[in-house]
Structure 1
Amino acid sequence: MKITHLCKLLGLLLGIIVLFGVVPRASAAEPIEIFDAHLHYNWEPKPYFSLDEVLALFKKHRVTGILATSRPNDGTRALVAAQAVGKAEGLWVVPFIRPYRIRADIGSWFNDPSIYDLVREEYARGGYRGVGEFHLTGRAAATDWVRKTVDFAVAHDLYLHAHADAEAIEILFAHNPKSRIIWAHTGFSLEPARVAALLDKYPTLWGELSYRGGITEGGRLSPAWRALFERYPDRFLIGSDTWINERWASYGEIIAGYRRWLAELPPEIAAKIAHGNARALFKDAAPPVR
């Protein structure tokens, strides 16, 4: 009888413990963390979304790292400053120099010596890990000012973030074979076989997948891109490309879209593409920009 009473008492105590949360309860698995390797926080002349708003977006959607750029570079500095003072808790900011002052520079920077001066002056602030995103099509990449920019990046251990077609990618590597290039959009609609050929030819080329067509078919990961990810698990990154306000407004949807097809890959490959490859590239990140 005493044993029966003791069991009932123990059962009652266990129920009270669980009720008040003393024993941890199982929680739903957190979504895979994301390193956003193509982010713009443009200031023209000021951002549409406040710094607090974008930091809240990163936290809400478990974005734990960003490749930060802006036009002009004020927005990037604001993100780095937020990290430096602890305002961007849990966020790793990797700053790149955007070689644009205004949007019109997109079409002329590759022939503009003042842009080369801008890159050097911005670099002198300290902390930058790359140059870009910049835009190049075909032979526009063949100018002396692009070559100077490529050589500057190599000399100072900087990555290049290139929105470029396949021809321009080839020219960038021809300027300096030691270049390290993050290929924004990975050619947009370039056939997977050509993407694979370029990855084989250039070991220091990584594909960033924002706006990249063909990754999914009917809402599922396409066989061609599954094969690419399995063949080159260390060579792809993902990004939001928040170049217009609408991309910020749909930020959560963009990140969720990545997670849907990442979930179809083996976990170790998904983790590399989601965040591991970016962290491997920038593990030696310099001190923050002043």
Structure 2
Amino acid sequence: MPRLLVGRLAACLVAIGLLGSASDRSKAGEPIEIFDAHLHYNWEPTPYYQPDEVLALLKRHHVTGILATSRPNKGTHVLMDAKADGLQIVPFIRPYRVRPDIQTWFKDPVIFDLVQDEFKRGYYRGIGEFHLTGSAADTEVAKKTVDFAVAHDLYLHAHADDEAVEILMRHNPRARIIWAHTGFGLSADRVAALLAKYPKLWGELSYRSGIVGNGGTLTPEWRGLFERFPDRFLLGSDTWVNERWAAYGEIMASYRAWLAQLPPAIAARIAHGNARALFTDAR
């Protein structure tokens, strides 16, 4: 059987199994498990928690998987060395050495060298999170990064507006993009249009306002999005500053509050099933 088909079959089986296990836990009164698809363990200037504290925090809040990045990438190296039972760590290459790289990485050829060197470690599954706005995505370095990701079966984690997302997809239609914050203030209709247009685009929901209205109730627009695209959304904490680490439990609790308003199968997909399906393959 071709490798791609094997990978897809494995992902489907994992997703099905996870939906069942989530249902079992729900009946037992345990909180639904979450895959945190936007976790930064920044090493610049210093980490907020030591590695053992990070692992304990994740376990305490029933987080069973993380998409791990760091500025610089040393923090990700540390997490990979500190693997814990029951935790899936999916490392991504961060194309930043220091915070000012956010503004210049897409036109700095040295950053592309960094990406290639980091990839040699052999365990990365993607590139990002990186920041792009509008035509900043239309540079040689950005295109080379997209093409490199496609050539090496990597995902891209893009903090981008809708114009930049469209440019990235135009660079290479085979690109697979996890859209950090799912466009921030874009309307649900615009998000739906992009998800429909690009089957290899997934929305990650950290910092995304408008999902709930007064009283914490899911808005009709976002409920409709989740019901129409149940396999296209991921959750994330975005621990980019210390305050996000300090509020980690509150962030996870806020997700569980509106997940509980969805049909259990859809809630399980968004909480962890979609991320498992993306990152479980025949490697």
Query: Same fold judged by TM-score > 0.5?
Result: yes
| Structure 1 CA distance for aligned equivalents of residues 110 and 258 of structure 2 | 42
**Other-structure match for 2:199:** 203
Asked whether the 8 Å contact 1:150–1:175 carries over to 2, the reply is: yes
Amino acid across the alignment from 1:74: K
Q: Specify whether residues 58 and 78 from structure 1 end up closer, same or farther in structure 2 by C-alpha distance, changes over 3 A only.
A: same
Mapped partners of 1:60, 1:43: distance in 2: 23
What residue identity is the alignment partner of 2:54? Answer: V
- Do residues 89 (structure 1) and 85 (structure 2) align? yes
Which is greater in Rg?
1
Give 3-state SS (helix, strand or coil) of 2:159's partner. Answer: strand
Deviation for aligned residue 1:28: 4.9
CA contact (8 A) 1:94 1:285 kept: no
More off after superposition, 52-61 vs 249-258: 52-61
Aligned 1:1-290 pairs, distance under 5 A? 28-83=28-83, 88-218=84-214, 219-284=216-281
How many Å apart are 1:258 and its aligned residue? 0.1
From the two aligned structures, give the one with the greater helix fraction: 2
AA partner of residue 182 (structure 1): I
Query: 3-state DSSP class of the match of 1:147?
Result: helix
Between the aligned partners of 2:39 and 2:162, the Cα distance in structure 1 is 22
Secondary structure in 2 aligned to 1:216? coil
Question: Which SS does the other structure have where 1:221 is aligned?
Answer: coil
How does the TM-score come out when normalised to structure 1? 0.87
Q: CA deviation at 1:44?
A: 1.2
Amino acid at match of 2:65: G
Give the Cα–Cα distance (whole angstroms) in 2 for the partners of residues 28 and 123 of structure 1.
42
Offset of 1:46 from its aligned partner? Answer: 2.8
Residues 285 and 249 of structure 1, relative CA distance in 2, 3 Å threshold: farther
Q: Structure 2 length as normaliser, TM-score?
A: 0.89
Query: In structure 2, what residue type is equivalent to 1:102?
Result: V
For 2:200 and 2:219, the matched residues in 1 are separated by 25
How many Å apart are 1:90 and its aligned residue?
1.3
Q: Distance in 2 between matches of 1:147 and 1:100?
A: 17
Partners of 2:205 and 2:235 within 8 A in 1 = yes
- The residue type equivalent to 1:110 in the other structure is F
Cα distance change, pair 285–34 in 1 and its aligned pair in 2 (3 A)? farther
Partner Cα distance (2:48, 2:133) in 1 = 29
Q: CA offsets, 1:223-276, max 9 Å, x none?
A: 100000000000000000000000000000000000000000000000000000
SS of residue matched to 2:261: coil
Distance 1:28 1:197 in 2: 38
Stretches of structure 1 that go unaligned for 5 or more consecutive residues are 1-26
Number of matched pairs: 256
The one-letter amino acid paired with 1:82 is A
RMSD: 1.0
* Bigger relative contact order (CA 8 A; separation at least 6): 2
1:56-85 deviation digits (Å, cap 9, x = unpaired) = 1100000000000000011111111111xx
Query: Displacement, 1:285?
Result: 7.5
Corresponding residue SS for 2:175: coil
Residue 45 (structure 1) shift: 3.6
Task: Give the share of equivalent positions with the same residue, in percent.
Answer: 73
